[in-house]
Structure 1
């Protein structure tokens, strides 16, 4: 095997026409037929080194065994191509160590698999890892993370989650989308009706439209409103949440099972199932901040099923008014006609909601 001490800056490893090249800038450090290469060892120095690796292909079903010890400084492992999968959980303990940044953007559609134990192995001193992704990439983070508020660092929105003293940060090109779970609008770690109601409240206040990238800490998102990652807040974001709750829950419980801690960072595909707004009425008691999301006319922190119906009716009106704009912006990614057919059932849903309201007429108001 070959061992390289990386110079400062970026070193690339590529397969070009069956020949493996290792380059630093324009300088070729290594060149050999792919069939003759089975292992490559890289060691960093005191600076900030970047090791960028392309799709090197297989020989006799085997990939090239690459190790990278970044040592001191802030070091980066970067993918160069597309459709690459990097499973950090399957690497040996000395495979990639002392690396603080993983950049999986490449040329798109890459996949990264990691968990908290992996972060501690990769960065044993800081126990902190930064991952860079773009829409279309898929990342699996493992379980038992707690999602924190985003931070504004170095002119970028940095999404954060922690597990004990282990910190995982993510920078993506969708600052208003939760990279850990796009459906978790309020980043409490679960997907529940409150995530849908946050979107409804924003739409009812007339705030639909483009979500601009934050330019300062003051502009960071309080809620992750961009469920589908199109950089707009629109009725489709609410519909995705409703569709998930109706499909995944399928019960009278107010909370759906948690999806895994992973994100595809791209709009979902497929047909929308018939909408059922009755699930929104099964909200559990919640915190004072969440109680203010729907604004009852009485001024107290209680809301009735009638007020819920008013909110959903306003949502339908917003959907109808913005259908043309939403269709234009999502035509290449969504079969919007399916959503339109579902929305044509609004009258039936209103009738169902009215019956539900009458059934609750003798009960106390619901507390959200």
Structure 2
């Protein structure tokens, strides 16, 4: 059984009352503050048996497609999340408003088929950015009301990214249009040059491509997704107000030894690939800052067992079934539980310019065992931390 840390920073249960945090790394009071904290409680966090917080959102989620698969993935996502940014890397990719609208309808139908109440889960749609994305396409996306972002995949960087960007100069007009219309650019931050080691592709992207993107459209809001290296998280911590980052449970809780030491574990293979323990520790350190430009993005990306346990397995980890519990474990390890609600429920809405959710969820300190596998349509998926003990459980 994984041991709990001996001490966790003292704090208070977050319920949105008095202004306290206006930035990261220090306290601030007054009208410019963004986030709030409730009455203090006498117990430190590590002695509390439950945590109450606003229902979170997921700002990076792969639901896949097909009615049977969507029924299972939407059910898992809707259990913890009120909203999710839905990735567009289907086959074919979602590149138009019409295609995004049809995909949204399939997701809403799957919500009903899974027993979810209408409106209990809102998919926030994205469009797949290509070399040929036009300003008119950006304007149409902004006018749709349901598309919140474009996704930049460097061509060949990950699953179904072959239609991604090959020439950054070609997308500059589209980037400027996104900035003008208030759309967000979500970025898979890795280079695809075969001369660059797979473990260094994020570091090289941060040094080379990220500054280029920022300079092309200075007013554009950019989310550097699934931060996995010390360099990437530091680029966000020290970046400007328009640069944010998401962090996954797997990059917080596992390093590359878990993937490779003692045998290859294909269900831990994802992109960006799991990194060193030093990188993982840098991500945990970042949680303690309370930086308002770091927020939840699971990158939950299910593949059926047969597509993982094969000679050329797919990249992607499924974690949606227990994402909030996994984040609680990571924040507890970091000694940062007082920042859990803001990371999960407040920072993302603030960056995207939408209200935080009013509904409250409860996490309880309870040990339970993750399933070996879960349904994925007519097949099965192995979840992150399969057959292992988890130390928190969300009600419901």
Q: 1 or 2, which has the higher helix percentage?
A: 2
* Larger Rg, first or second structure (1 or 2): 1
For the aligned pair, the TM-score class normalised by the smaller chain equals under 0.3
Query: TM-score when scaled to structure 1?
Result: 0.28
